[in-house]
A and B are shown apart, each in its own frame.
Chain A
Amino acid sequence: MPKRNAGFPAGFLRELSKNRFSYLLAVPAVLYVFIFSYATYPYLLIAFQRFNYTKGLLHSEWVGFDNFRFFFKSTDALLITLNTIKLNLLFLVFGTLFAVALAVLLNEVRHRLFQKLTQTTMIFPNFLSWIIVSYMMYGLFSTDFGLINQAISFFGGEPVNWYAKAEAWPWILVGMKVWKEAGMGSIIYLAAITGIDQVLYESAEIDGATRWQKIRSITLPLLAPTAAILTLLNLGKIFYGDFGMIYAIIGDNGVLYPTTDVIDTYVFRALRQIGDPSNAAAVGLFQSIVGLLLVFAANWITRRTFREGALY
């Protein structure tokens, strides 16, 4: 009888041939991930070059840390880093608050049809692209035609040129994020509430607890782990700006950059508009590395606090 655990090449090959059809099935996905993820990693090195598309990675000129120095010396570095973190934190806090609140309130509704109807409506914006949302926002915020300025005029105020008012945009963006995603976010929490043992509520009722007391002492404490896990995991992504959202809504409106420009939009402009791939790559590498450290940190905290909830 052959030994069970034959050495590396022999055992490896035997396993591959034994399950060859299984492994074959995975080949397309393995190749895809290899080409679009692993094989792109070497190009991170162009952050240390003055990259030239025709010369390629091997023949472009090496410049050490010049691109990083250029970025960190500019005033943009601090601005876009802080904007990214600030916007993501706002999204996270308000997104979670609204998602939890909606789930708790939806759970209190006894009228099935009303519950179904409101929930279905709340989820709808989640399916629209940010481009579409930007048009709908224009209907509200347009200086000449928008509903909001019409309302302001109606009450005797001066119409506001929203698209030139940088200080308002972090809050407008938070509003849009909540509008678009809180309904969908509430589903996970609603599922968690449904999983709570009904006996708890019944015994609380026998003791004469009010609705608010039941929410405060049963529902919210039992939702806390779910909320904490999701929040921690999202904290790991705090260094990645939502390009699809920010660029669709803000676009190239430079007046709004001071409060809304994030790392991802900055990298995009450096690459596609200014046409400086090496500078863009340097900023991107900075983002990837800090981002990865944050993912590790967030997961480490999650694992220490809630064994079940960790990503890995």
Chain B
Amino acid sequence: MNALKRPDISAWFIHLFLGLFALCCLLPMVLTFMVSISDETSIIKHGYRLVPERFSLEAYRTLYDSGAMLLRSYGVTVFVTAVGSVLAVLITAMAAYPLANPSVKYRGALSLYFFITMLFNGGLVPWYIMCKKLGLTDNLLALIVPGLMFNAFNMFLVRNFMESLPSALRESAYMDGANDMRIAFRIYLPLCVPVLATVLLFYALAYWNDWFNAIMLVDNKNLFPLQYVLFKIRSNIEMLNMLPPGGNQVQYTPPAESAKMATVIVTIGPIVFLYPYLQRYFVKGLIVGSVKG
């Protein structure tokens, strides 16, 4: 009743704090976008501005014109993301099925087999030598296969979902003479679409944002994914700054400030576009995973 009488100051503070935090989360993104549509000379004169003095789409035109390299990287990233995440979901879902099937006697041992790798990994060097030995260097497979194609956490997420389905489904299918392969693909996978969508997004985002495989295993410029191109642009600029002035060892003109930021915007474009789905499924997956992990 006193809520009606005096203004609720603490509520104002709560809204203010949350609003400010949310703004802070958005600000760097907005700044990046604004710089990308700024006129280059006004950046040089005034620095990055949230509201540029003069607008210009020059940066995007430059990207479009000289964009053979960028377009190639875009292709590499899209291909790797599409193929990688579909394969990953398939492998993950298939492995989850026996773990959720109580008539499989060794499912505990199987779980343990996967779980151990979550606790102990040999580290970077053994992994690297293995990839080299398998010939996973300087090809598209090097960007798809190592590290990203299977994640035990995601598998346990799918397993938990499968365990929540009624076991009568499997038993009646057995009765009709179906084998586990058929049951998994015809009955379980279609019913698991919600959790598989979540897991697909987990994998797809990991592939889209990955540059670790590239920096470890790929030296061929034609195979650089988008994120790694951005990384390279930055480290080339840093190298340029470290050289003594007047040195003529390197013939490299760094891209204009606006063009750099335009590349960033182009790279996160699909994420922004898919964001409504991403956040819904991520939140769902995170809560399911935390309740019973």
Residues of A that sit less than 8 Å from B by CB? 15, 19, 21-26, 28-30, 32-33, 35-44, 46, 53, 102, 105-106, 108-109, 111, 114, 117-118, 120-129, 131-140, 142, 144-147, 149-150, 179, 183-184, 187-188, 191, 211-212, 243-244, 248, 251-253, 264, 267-268, 271-272, 277, 280-281, 284-285, 287-288, 292, 295, 311-312
Which parts of B16-67 form the interface with A (CB within 8 Å)?
17-19, 21-26, 28-29, 31-32, 35, 43, 47-48, 50
> Does B247 make an interface contact (CB < 8 A)?
no
Most buried by A among B104, B121, B126: B126
B261 neighbours in A (Cβ, 8 Å): 135, 139
Render B75-107 as a binary contact track against A, CB cut-off 8 A, 1 for contact: 000000000000000111011011101011110
By a beta-carbon cutoff of 8 Å, the part of chain B in contact with chain A is: 10-11, 14-15, 17-19, 21-26, 28-29, 31-32, 35, 43, 47-48, 50, 90-92, 94-95, 97-99, 101, 103-106, 110, 113-115, 117, 119-130, 132, 134, 146-147, 149-150, 152, 155, 179-181, 184, 205, 208-212, 215-216, 227-228, 230-231, 234-235, 238, 257, 260-261, 264, 267-268, 271, 275, 278-279, 282-283, 286-287, 290-291
A105 to B28, CA, bound (A): 23
Given A15-B106, A32-B91, A188-B290, decide whether A21 and B181 contact each other with a Cβ distance below 8 A: yes
In the complex where A120-B279, A145-B43, A147-B31 touch, is A19 in contact with B238 (Cβ < 8 A)? no
- Choose one: A111, A128, A131, A285; the contact of B211 (CB below 8 Å): A131
Q: Which residue of chain A is the closest to B43 with respect to CB atoms?
A: A145
Bound form: Cα–Cα A44–B129 in Å:
10
Q: A43-B125, A131-B231, A145-B48 are in contact. Are A272 and B216 (CB under 8 A)?
A: yes
Which listed residue, A40, A129, A133, A280, touches B122 by the CB 8 Å rule? A40
Shortest Cβ gap from A209 to chain B (Å): 12
CB within 8 Å for A19 and B264 given contacts A30-B113, A122-B22? no
**Are A132 and B235 neighbours in the complex by a CB distance under 8 Å?**
no
* Cα separation A149 to B259 with both chains bound (whole Å): 22
* Shortest Cβ distance from residue B226 to the other chain A in the assembled complex, whole angstroms: 9
In Å, the complex CA distance between A135 and B211 comes to 15
Q: Which residues of B contact A30 (CB under 8 A)?
A: 95, 110, 113
Expressed in whole angstroms, the Cα–Cα distance for A288 and B48 within the complex equals 43
Contact A179 B24, beta carbon cutoff 8 Å:
yes
Residues of B within 8 A of A292 (CB): 119-120
Chain B, interface SS category: helix
Query: In whole Å, how far is B8's beta carbon from the nearest beta carbon of chain A?
Result: 8
**Known: A19-B180, A129-B227, A134-B234. Contact between A117 and B124, CB under 8 A?**
no
| B286 A184 Cβ-Cβ under 8 A | yes
Q: Are A118 and B230 in contact (CB under 8 A)?
A: no
Nearest CB in chain B to that of A133: its residue: B28
CA separation between A135 and B99, bound complex, in Å?
A: 43
**CA A114 to CA B271, docked complex, whole Å:** 23
Q: Establish whether residues B234 and A135, one from each chain, have CB atoms under 8 Å apart when the complex forms.
A: yes
Residue of B nearest to A280 (CB): B125
A146 touches B122 (CB 8 A): no
Query: Chain B: which residue is nearest A32 at the CB level?
Result: B150
Q: Which A residues lie within 8 Å of B180 (CB)?
A: 19, 21-22, 25
A232 vs B276: C-alpha distance in the bound complex, in angstroms?
Answer: 32
Complex contacts, B290 vs chain A, CB 8 Å: 188, 191
- Name the distance in Å between B50's Cβ and chain A's nearest Cβ: 8
Q: Which residue of A lies closest to B205 (CB)?
A: A127
The answer for the CA separation of A134 and B212 in the assembled complex, in Å, is 15
